[in-house]
Structure formats: structure tokens, C-alpha cells
């Protein structure tokens, strides 16, 4: 604003060609506490010593004291304007300020009592059951929220309605150093470099670099023992010939007679490893019972290795790895009407009747099939381990 008085019709010259048209006067600005133009404009007297960066007079070159207490070039406050020397110490509107003060006091008192309530709720309300935790959380949280909210409201009303409205202008100093400063820097840097003989003695320089190389590499080397080498462990699971299938949870073996209802599905873990998460992360299996005629599992090979065949099923029961070949989530949604196995993580879908072939989604390979057999007691057992690595792909998979 070039002046704080109400402005004339600032745009009339724009409309000079409009014969006979009328133009309203430009908007009037209502009176504010700092004169017409709302806030108090505060300017400060320039301090006697210049630079913010230290007294050794480097700032004269780029003019203006560091902390911008002088009105900027071309700013409305230049030449004194209508700014004031200091921030006013009285509120702008005394009657309003009295009301605002009451409001602020109310909020701060509310915060105090709510804060006391918080401590009282902590002491008084116990936990140790879901119901009690519900009450405790509600009481503590409510009192805390009220305390914080009231503090915020009080502080905000204070700043907006009690403190006089002030606007300040600060000058930005140049960020770029002056040429003289840069020259001085260059000068000293060269001087110091020459004194250090760094340039003059190349062998010193080069061997220094060499000396620090091992130390730089060492932190990476020291990470080696964070884990074992993968070796071939990703290629095998704990399934082995004769290992019984146990129902996860009850840890009971299961026989084809018990698993006879068409459309059944259940989660299986290997006997002896039911509490071993590392083993289960690769060895979890689902078995599915088909109705007669539904199963059409093909015999298939991968690079010469047999990876699926109807011979690996028992009595229309097929076993697939439960570990998705995408990134390893348990594949567990089985729709018995469509025979789809759906992984809930990224929606890879496998067709259980055709050897868990992928019919949608990002999984790249069918679920590996576990060869099934029956042991002498009639329980389902694995005939061997999986013949291909289970789970997500990896570089060395083949």
C-alpha cells in the first residue's frame, strides 16, 4: 500500500476510454488500529553496528543491516511512512480485549481442571480388563484432549485478540557472499593449501586416500555376520517322506476317512514342527478334498523335475503349499464352488483342480504340490519334500 489513507479511484485511468461510464471509487479500507490500513507497522531503528555475521565489517558491501530492521526498498514504509517505532503495549480494542481476556482465562482454567482430571483418572481408574481399559482410555483421553485443546484455544485467542495486531517487515540480506568475501576466501584457501603442501606432494595425497579406503569399506564388511548365507536352504522345506500332516491348531493327524466331505479345506502343518515358525513359513500346506470328477491335475515338469501329478493325490485329496509364489503370504481363500484359491494380499488366484495354475494376479508360478501318501495307521503323510522351491521367486531359483 503506497499510503494508508483511503485510496482514490485507483483505476480510473484504466477506464478513461469509457465515455459516460461510471466507475465506482476504489474500495475504501476501513480503519484499523494502525491507522487506515489495519495492522501496526513496526519499524525499528537501524542498529549502529552492521552485520549479523560478526563485527568485522564485511557487510557494508551489500548494504543494510542483517536483521532487516529497515524498511525495504520500495516498500511503503520507506521514508518513514506511517510505521511506528515500537510494538504497542496496549490491546487494540480495550472493550473487546476485556471479553477476550475472560475467554482466555476460562480456557486456561478449563485446561487446569481437565489436567487435574487426567491425573485423577490415571490414579482412580484401573485396567486389567477390556471393559476397564475402555473406561480408562476414554477418561484419560477425554481429559487430555480437553486440556490440550483448551491450552491451544487460550493461547490462540490471546494472540489474536489480546495482542495488538502488528506487522513487521524484515529485509532479506543477500545470500550470496560478496565478491570481496569470496576473493578473501579463495585467497586464504589457496594460502592454506599451499602451506599444507597437499598439492605439491602427490604421494602423500594419494597414499592418504589409499589409507582411508579399508576403513571406509570396513562397516559394510562388519555386517557379514548378521546372518547366514542362504545356501540351498530356500530350496527345501522340512517335509520328508513319511512325515505326518497335522491340522494346524489342534495338531491332530488326519486320515482320508476323516477328510471325506467334498469341498473341504483345512490348514496343515508338518508333524514335529508345529511350533517352529521358521519351518512353517515355508512348510504350511492346505489340503483340499474334491468331489469325484472335479480333479484334473496334470502331470507336469519344470526343467526335467516332476513338479505335479495326480499320483500325488490320495482319494481326491490334494495338497498345495500355502505359501504364495508371489511374495509369500499364506494363500488361503478357497472357494469350493469355483475351486479357486485366492491370496488375500495381492489377489493372485490359483485353480486348485488343475494343479494350482495361476489364473489372475501377480503370482508367477502355480503353487507347488506336495506329494501325499498314507501311512500304516491310515493317516495322511508326505511322500517326499516338495520337488521345487516354495514361496517367492529368487535369483538363484532356476
Tally the C-alpha atoms within 13 A of residue 317's C-alpha that lie toward its C-beta. 26
169 binds another protein (CB under 8 A): yes
**Minimum distance from residue 200 beta carbon to another protein (Å):** 34
Q: State how beta strands 349-351 and 31-32 pair.
A: unpaired
Cβ pair 71, 81 in contact under 8 A:
yes
**Of 310 and 392, which has the nearer Cβ to another protein?**
392
The residues in 101-120 that bind another protein, with binding defined as CB under 8 A, are none
Helices 94-124 and 130-157, axial angle in degrees (round to 10)? 160
361 binds another protein (CB under 8 A): yes
305 binds another protein (CB under 8 A): no
Binding mask 31-60 for another protein (x = CB under 8 A): xx-----xx--x-x-------x--------
Which region, judged by CB under 8 A, interacts with another protein, from 14-22, 185-193, 304-312, 370-378? 14-22
Cα radius of gyration rounded to whole Å, the chain: 40
27 binds another protein (CB under 8 A): yes
C-alpha dihedral (72, 77, 80, 85), degrees to nearest 10: -90
DSSP summary character for residue 263: T
How many residues touch another protein under the rule CB under 8 A: the total is: 165
The residues in 211-240 that bind another protein, with binding defined as CB under 8 A, are 223-224, 226-230, 233-234
CA 15 centroid distance within chain: 55
Which region, judged by CB under 8 A, interacts with another protein, from 25-33, 195-203, 206-214, 370-378? 25-33
182 binds another protein (CB under 8 A): no
258 binds another protein (CB under 8 A): yes
340 binds another protein (CB under 8 A): yes
**Minimum distance from residue 117 beta carbon to another protein (Å):** 13
* Neighbour-count burial of 40, counting CB atoms closer than 10 A to its CB (0-12 exposed, 13-18 middle, 19+ buried): buried
Residue of 323, 316, 320 whose CA lies nearest to 369: 320
Amino acid at each position: 500500500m503506497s499510503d494508508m489513507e483511503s485510496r482514490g479511484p485507483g483505476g480510473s485511468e484504466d477506464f478513461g476510454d469509457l465515455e459516460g461510464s461510471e466507475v465506482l471509487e476504489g474500495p475504501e479500507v476501513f480503519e484499523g488500529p494502525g491507522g487506515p490500513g489495519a495492522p501496526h507497522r513496526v519499524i525499528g531503528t537501524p542498529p549502529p553496528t552492521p552485520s549479523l555475521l560478526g563485527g568485522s565489517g564485511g557487510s557494508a558491501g551489500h548494504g543494510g543491516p542483517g536483521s532487516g530492521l529497515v524498511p525495504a526498498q520500495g516498500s511503503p514504509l520507506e521514508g518513514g511512512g506511517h510505521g511506528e517505532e515500537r510494538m504497542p503495549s496496549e490491546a487494540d480494542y480495550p472493550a473487546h480485549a476485556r471479553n477476550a481476556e475472560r475467554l482466555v482465562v476460562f480456557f486456561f482454567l478449563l485446561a487446569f481442571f481437565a489436567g487435574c482430571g487426567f491425573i485423577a483418572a490415571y490414579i482412580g481408574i484401573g485396567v486389567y480388563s477390556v471393559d476397564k481399559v475402555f473406561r480408562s482410555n476414554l477418561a484419560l483421553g477425554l481429559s487430555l484432549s480437553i486440556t490440550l485443546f483448551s491450552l491451544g484455544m487460550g493461547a490462540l485467542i490471546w494472540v489474536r485478540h489480546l495482542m495488538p495486531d502488528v506487522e513487521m517487515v524484515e529485509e532479506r540480506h543477500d545470500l550470496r557472499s560478496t565478491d570481496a568475501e569470496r576473493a578473501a576466501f579463495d585467497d586464504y584457501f589457496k594460502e592454506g593449501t599451499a602451506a599444507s603442501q597437499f598439492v605439491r606432494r602427490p604421494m602423500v595425497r594419494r597414499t592418504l586416500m589409499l589409507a582411508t579406503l579399508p576403513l571406509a569399506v570396513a562397516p559394510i564388511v562388519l555386517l557379514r555376520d548378521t546372518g547366514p548365507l542362504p545356501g540351498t536352504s530356500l530350496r527345501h522345506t522340512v517335509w520328508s517322506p513319511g512325515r505326518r500332516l497335522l491340522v494346524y491348531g489342534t495338531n491332530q493327524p488326519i486320515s482320508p476317512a476323516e477328510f471325506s466331505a467334498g469341498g473341504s479345506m483345512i490348514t496343515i502343518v508338518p508333524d514335529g514342527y508345529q511350533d517352529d515358525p521358521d519351518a512353517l513359513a515355508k512348510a504350511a500346506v492346505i489340503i483340499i478334498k474334491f468331489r469325484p470328477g472335479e480333479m484334473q491335475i496334470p502331470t507336469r515338469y519344470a526343467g526335467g523335475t516332476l513338479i505335479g501329478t495326480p499320483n500325488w493325490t490320495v482319494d481326491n485329496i490334494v495338497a498345495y503349499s500355502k505359501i504364495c509364489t508371489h511374495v509369500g503370504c499364506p494363500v488361503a481363500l478357497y472357494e469350493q464352488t469355483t475351486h479357486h484359491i485366492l491370496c488375500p494380499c495381492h489377489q493372485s488366484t490359483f485353480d486348485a483342480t488343475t494343479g494350482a495354475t495361476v489364473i489372475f494376479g501377480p503370482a508367477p508360478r502355480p503353487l507347488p504340490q506336495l506329494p501325499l501318501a498314507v501311512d500304516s495307521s491310515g493317516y495322511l503323510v508326505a511322500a517326499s519334500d516338495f520337488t521345487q522351491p516354495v514361496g517367492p521367486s529368487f535369483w538363484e531359483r532356476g
